[in-house]
Amino acid sequence: MFKDGEIEGVYIKRMELHADKRGWLGELFRKDGTILNLNQSNPKFYPAMSYISITHPDIVRGPHEHKEQTDYFCFLGKFRLYLWDNRKDSPTHKNKKILEDVDRHIVVVPPGVVHAYKNTGGEDAIILNFPDRLYAGWNKEEKVDEIRYEDDAESPFKIE
């Protein structure tokens, strides 16, 4: 059903680290577009919130997709990332992409791209997200913009 290939609108970039004897610093996003040039491709993208999460070893989150939300992830730890283009009007519709190690990568996932990730390392790993929509809307009074597939036995979005 899905074939391997690139997915339009998904941006992936290894985070540039600035290290010294104290540790390291990595810029996650900038309005001037110097990280992923989002201003050129999506001039309306701007984070509405941020969150941090821990995923335990061998745990999968997803697959799910958003109707309107763009996710802007930063992965810190060993993760396998799964992406499926589920947008009927996309030139890359029905493409899938699996990335084996997205540690210290920034990944932008547009609406309609189903995504999941698995911690493939031996310790807890961190994800930061800066989505352009508020979870459950203003004051958490709206329906959550999420279509979940993880409990659907008939789902075409399979985690290996």
Q: What is the CATH number of the domain that holds 93?
A: 2.60.120.10
What are the pLDDT digits (tens) for 43-70? Answer: 567 889 999 999 999 999 999 999 999 9
The pLDDT, as a whole number, for residue 20 is 96
Q: Is 60 domain-assigned? A: yes
pTM over 0.75: yes
What are the pLDDT digits (tens) for 84-105? Answer: 999 999 999 999 999 999 999 9
Q: Is 45 domain-assigned? A: yes
Q: Is 15 domain-assigned? A: yes
Q: Is 54 domain-assigned? A: yes
Q: Cβ of 101: how many Cβ atoms within 10 Å?
A: 14
Contacts of 122 (CB under 8 A, 6+ apart): 57
Instruction: Supply the DSSP string of 27-51, one letter for each residue.
Output: ----TT-TTT-HHHH-TT---S--E
Q: Count structural domains, the chain.
A: 1
The pLDDT, as a whole number, for residue 59 is 97
Question: By residue range, what is the domain housing residue 125?
Answer: 3-136+144-148
Lowest mean pLDDT among 31-40, 41-50, 84-93, 113-122: 31-40
Average pLDDT, the chain: 92
